[in-house]
Structure 1
Amino acid sequence: MKTQEIGQSGMIASRVALGVMRMDALDNAEATRTVAAATQAGINYFDTADIYGFNAHKLHASSERFGQAWKLAGLDRSEIFIQTKFGIDNDYDAEGHGTAYGYDFSTKHLLDSLDAELEALQTDYVDTVLLHRIDTLFELDEVAEAFDKLESSGKVRHFGVSNMGPWQIELLQSGLKQKLEINQLQFGLMHTQMLDAEIHFNVADDPAADRTGEILPYSRLKHMTIQPWCPFQSDTEYGPFVGNPHFPEINAELDRLAAKYDSTPNGIAMAWILRHPAGFQPLVGSMNPDRIRQIAAGADVDLERRDWWSLYKAAGNRLI
């Protein structure tokens, strides 16, 4: 597994990370096998969030399962990176019915949430915490106070955001001592809006007003690592696109290139993301050990330029 620096943090981590959102659906043995498979494939970076527990109908449930799994897998805490997210105000009642109240970047909410995550994860610090989407009601001094307390206490080492645009990031950064190192954004072969906005700039169908149009060059200029989420999901109700008969053109090209590079369609789909010089660190959401291994192996595939473009086109995108 190739590695890279995350933002300008000094963290040298695997180019592929494992997202554990669905881990609350596994039992301890299954979760441990999943974590072990990921680490054996070279993955040492794990992402979660305080709200992940959709199967168990409980906040912090996926983090709790991961916290048990990394211990049972015998991992050395100093050799893995754990990342969580906070700032969404969700909760469940006694019957397990969830309610999304909104967003909350208040100092108290962020501090309380992080403490609960540390307990669930069975660790006294996380390597990174991200603000989970944007709270339009946020007070900059409250976010700054929370970040300062989390950093000075040693509970958080690095900070970032998710699903935010350049001006939201600039506003936050203006009041923070800590550099925002990461932005999580949806991206993959079937979610190419960031690329489309660049390729179609100043032409008849110019999508310059597209909300994602500036985030890719901005992230590269600011040395922020983009972490693509759901990189294998289609943009329809059909779910993952790899091996899905609803997407024959992209799968035919994935099969062709898998044979050419002695890889798998999953590996090629991952290699396509990693070929971009922006230095993406994709989040794999699968809990299937075999699929995790196939995807992780894609980090060692170097696609030729024409093969990269052929996949872009096969996914339904057009060139000028």
Structure 2
Amino acid sequence: MRTIKLGSSDLNVPVVSVGCMRINALEKQDAARFVQTALDEGANFFDHADIYGKGACEEIFAEAIGMSPSVREKIILQSKCGIRPGMFDFSREHILSSVDGILKRLNTDYLDVLLLHRPDALVEPEEVAAAFDELETSGKVRHFGVSNQHPRQIDLLKKYVKQPIVANQLQLSITNATMITSGFNVNMENDAAVNRDGGVLDYCRLHDITVQPWSPFQFGFFEGVFLDNAKFPELNAKIDDIAAKYSVSNTTVAMAWLLRHPAHMQPVTGTMNLQRLKDCCKASEIHLTREEWYGILLAAGNVLP
């Protein structure tokens, strides 16, 4: 598996992150097989959140991988906190208690990366800074990032937080690519020119923040996958043609489309299917041409001005 640096850190990570949001849907033996398959593919970066399965996903993962000191040193663990029932919470107290719960469920002494899950309208960045300082000093968290945040929200945190923000996890796929396509339509009088994220993609590139696309095969907000979907005939025809050229699956090509972007993104998988997981990892070996990348973009219904 090809690797990249995570943000401005010295942490080398595989270009594909293994999302564990649905691991609680697997039987015990299947969960163990899933984790081992990821490791066999060189995908040793596992993405969690304290709300996934109400914490059960982290517990199931720890058991599936047989967490021990020797196992722990071979993997990279990321988790997220900040979502509570009916609210978001970036208070110092909640961040610290959340991390303690995460560590207990994962059966580990530290997280490689902690992300703040969704922006808290009542955030007091001084409290976030205090929590991050305590977590870093105690050795419980080594690197910090955010999820679903636009540039000004990150700047507000950075005014108080001394640790580098190394990652920003954002929804991005071929069919949900406004953070890319709005850049084509600067000063244009059309809907595609609407800037919905404050230029977050270029911001992250300028500030050495790794973009981690979530739901890389979804269209809409969890409306379904675009692959093999009759709603997207032109897109699937284009992807299938390119897949045949490289003798890979359509899943591999769709993932390779994200990896082709020069931002050096780290997409997060969501599948629990072993073959699809392997297909996602295979994308590390595929480098689409400029013509192929733009061909896919246009086949998804995007228009160049």
Q: TM-score range by the shorter chain?
A: over 0.9
Q: Distance in 2 between matches of 1:75 and 1:287?
A: 25
**Alpha-carbon displacement from aligned partner over 1:163-211 (angstroms, at most 9, x marks no partner):** 0000000000110110111000000111101111101112221655422
Question: What amino acid does structure 2 have at the position aligned with 1:134?
Answer: P
Q: Distance in 2 between matches of 1:163 and 1:219?
A: 12
Alignment of 1:174-189 (within 5 A): 174-189=159-174
Question: Is the CA contact (8 Å cut-off) linking 2:16 and 2:269 kept in structure 1?
Answer: yes
**Measured at CA, do residues 141 and 213 of structure 1 come closer, stay the same or move farther in structure 2, by a change above 3 Å?**
closer
Which of the residues 156, 170, 179 maps onto 2:155?
Answer: 170
Write out the 4+ residue segments of structure 1 that deviate beyond 3 Å after TM superposition. Answer: 72-75, 206-209
Task: Provide the residue aligned with 2:216 in structure 1.
Answer: 231
Q: Distance in 2 between matches of 1:126 and 1:76?
A: 14
Question: Is the CA contact (8 Å cut-off) linking 1:228 and 1:283 kept in structure 2?
Answer: yes
Q: Distance in 1 between matches of 2:204 and 2:230?
A: 35
Say which SS state the counterpart of residue 249 (structure 1) adopts: helix
Task: Provide the residue aligned with 2:24 in structure 1.
Answer: 24
Q: Distance in 1 between matches of 2:267 and 2:180?
A: 16
Matched, 1:158 2:148: no
Q: Distance in 1 between matches of 2:32 and 2:195?
A: 41
Q: Distance in 2 between matches of 1:237 and 1:76?
A: 33
**Measured at CA, do residues 173 and 237 of structure 1 come closer, stay the same or move farther in structure 2, by a change above 3 Å?**
closer
Shift of 1:252: 0.7
Q: How many residue pairs get matched?
A: 305
Root mean square deviation of aligned Cα: 1.6
Task: Provide the residue aligned with 1:10 in structure 2.
Answer: 10
Q: Distance in 2 between matches of 1:239 and 1:262?
A: 25
Question: What amino acid does structure 2 have at the position aligned with 1:71?
Answer: G
**Measured at CA, do residues 175 and 72 of structure 1 come closer, stay the same or move farther in structure 2, by a change above 3 Å?**
closer
**Measured at CA, do residues 35 and 266 of structure 1 come closer, stay the same or move farther in structure 2, by a change above 3 Å?**
same
Alignment of 1:201-212 (within 5 A): 201-205=186-190, 207-212=192-197
Q: Percent identity between the aligned chains?
A: 45
Which of the residues 244, 263, 287 maps onto 1:302?
Answer: 287
Matched, 1:40 2:46: no
Matched, 1:250 2:245: no
TM-score scaled to structure 2, two decimals? 0.96
Q: Distance in 2 between matches of 1:75 and 1:134?
A: 35
Unaligned runs of 5+ in 1: 54-58, 90-99
Q: Distance in 1 between matches of 2:145 and 2:221?
A: 29
Unaligned runs of 5+ in 2: none
Q: Distance in 2 between matches of 1:313 and 1:194?
A: 15
**Measured at CA, do residues 35 and 208 of structure 1 come closer, stay the same or move farther in structure 2, by a change above 3 Å?**
same
Matched, 1:76 2:71: yes
Which of the residues 34, 55, 73 maps onto 1:60?
Answer: 55
**Alpha-carbon displacement from aligned partner over 1:253-294 (angstroms, at most 9, x marks no partner):** 111000111211000001100000001100000011110001
Question: What amino acid does structure 1 have at the position aligned with 2:11?
Answer: M
**Alpha-carbon displacement from aligned partner over 1:211-231 (angstroms, at most 9, x marks no partner):** 224101100000000000000
**Measured at CA, do residues 74 and 39 of structure 1 come closer, stay the same or move farther in structure 2, by a change above 3 Å?**
farther
Question: What amino acid does structure 1 have at the position aligned with 2:73?
Answer: S
